[in-house]
Amino acid sequence: MITMNSNNNKADWPNFSNETTQSADFDKLSNEEKQVVTKAKNSLQDLVNRLQDAEKGYLEIIKASSNPIVNKWLKKYAAERHEMHSRLEDFIKALGGKPEVETSFLGTLHRMFIDIKINNVPNEYQVEAIIEEIERGASILIDDYDKVIRNVAFPESINYTLINQRERIRKELKALLELKEQLTVMA
């Protein structure tokens, strides 16, 4: 049974049994409902791509970094970004989509830039360069989550997950800035 309900004053969200859709359910939707579901899948895919870019970026930086404290942090958050995009991929599948498991062209370009930047700064400035890039990327990712949460209708369970992931990234960014302070004091 498919009905429409509203989600925090956003566009109406089709109500699927178990908050998932099968292709047969999708076919029963009106064009407006299909647009809502398609926008949700596309927005989730955009976040998946950004999270994959972040994961691969962290792993790339580990190769270029010689700081064990920073590398430990990077490994932990690469694993968390992987977990986050895997969860969003599950939502895309549940909505009848097929997630793309690849990073973006811009993400690949950015990782090359970071690699060049890190390998061309003196060791005493390497940690600062790494943290600046991660801080910039995390801030952009938080903004991306804000836009999706604010502008796209989702079932409550997906919206809840997005809010939790965004808050987790905010906490990680705060921890990163605290790490930066500690490393500055130690230097």
DSSP string, 6-55: -STTSS-EEE-GGG---HHHHHTS-HHHHHHHHHHHHHHHHHHHHHHHHH
> And the tokens for 44?
């989730």
pLDDT at 26: 73
Confidence label for 79 from pLDDT (cuts 50, 70 and 90): very high
H/E/C letters for each residue in 6-17?
A: CCCCCCCEEECH
Record the tokens describing residue 12, joined without a space. 């109406």
What is the structure's pLDDT at 93? 92
145 vs 45: CA distance, rounded Å: 12
pLDDT value of residue 52:
93
What are the C-alpha distances in Å from 15 to residues 25, 26, 49, 83, 119? 10, 11, 26, 27, 51
Domains of the chain: 20-186 (1.20.1260.10)
Mean pLDDT, the chain, whole residue set:
80
The answer to whether residue 145 scores a pLDDT higher than 90 is: yes
Gyration radius (Cα) of the chain, Å: 19
Q: Would you say residue 80 has pLDDT above 90?
A: yes
Q: Quick check: 106 pLDDT over 50? A: yes
**Confidence grade of residue 11 (pLDDT, cut at 50, 70, 90):** very low
User: pLDDT by residue (tens digit) across 18-77?
Assistant: 444 455 477 788 888 889 899 999 999 999 999 999 998 899 888 878 888 888 989 999
**Tens of pLDDT, residues 124-138:** 667 777 888 888 889
Lowest mean pLDDT across 45-49, 164-168, 181-185: 181-185
